[in-house]
């Protein structure tokens, strides 16, 4: 079991090395790539857009051990101009769907007021840095994550 978990981590870390810079004109292409916190113990990786979809995962690490993982998917609207939907699968369970409520050229906010926590998820990009924020719908109980491009 430990060997399988280790191989999974190696495969996922390998994706960080090959995660590309934005190379498309997709409105959310700026989120693509490998992002990690300053300590290197939390990482999010997002694919390049593929037919309007973006696929991602997050890992919390303690040494070589994965202590938490989440898979994510951002779906395009069903028709041009419709809102994107962020689907979270924490620890493989889900999805929990959050619908786009606001977007700029370098940020997007998703919300689901009926979800327990978080109810709001926001990503914003500033050069080689990205932030993610989660909170209740009114902004209370907020938690922020500061990312930079992965070092490896």
- Residuewise pLDDT in 10s, the chain (152 residues): 444 333 333 344 344 333 334 446 899 999 999 999 999 999 999 999 999 999 999 999 999 999 999 999 999 998 888 999 999 999 999 999 999 999 999 999 999 999 999 999 999 999 999 999 999 999 999 999 999 999 87
Q: CB 105: neighbour CB atoms within 10 A?
A: 8
Alpha helices in the chain (DSSP H): 2-18
Pairwise CA distance, residues 112 & 121, whole Å:
9
CB 144 within 8 A of CB 130: no
CB 117 within 8 A of CB 105: no
Of 93, 79, 74, 94, the residue nearest 28 (C-alpha): 74
Q: How far does CA 114 lie from the centroid of its chain?
A: 21
CATH topology of domain 2-149: Lipocalin (2.40.128)
Report the predicted TM-score, pTM, of the whole model to 2 decimal places.
Answer: 0.82
The domain ranges of the chain are: 2-149
């Amino acid at each position: 079991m430990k060997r399988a978990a280790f191989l999974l981590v190696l495969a996922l870390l390998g994706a960080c090395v090959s995660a590309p810079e934005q190379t498309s004109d997709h409105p959310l292409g700026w989120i693509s790539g490998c992002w990690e916190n300053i300590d290197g113990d939390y990482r999010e990786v997002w694919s390049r857009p593929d037919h309007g979809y973006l696929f991602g995962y997050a890992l919390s690490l303690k040494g070589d051990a994965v202590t938490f993982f989440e898979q994510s998917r951002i779906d395009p609207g069903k028709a041009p101009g419709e809102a994107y939907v962020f689907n979270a699968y924490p620890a493989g369970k889900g999805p929990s769907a959050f619908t786009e409520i606001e977007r700029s050229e370098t940020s997007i906010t998703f919300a689901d007021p009926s979800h327990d926590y978080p109810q709001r998820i926001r990503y914003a990009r500033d050069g080689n840095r990205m932030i993610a924020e989660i909170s209740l719908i009114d902004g209370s109980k907020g938690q922020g994550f500061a990312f930079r491009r992965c070092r490896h």
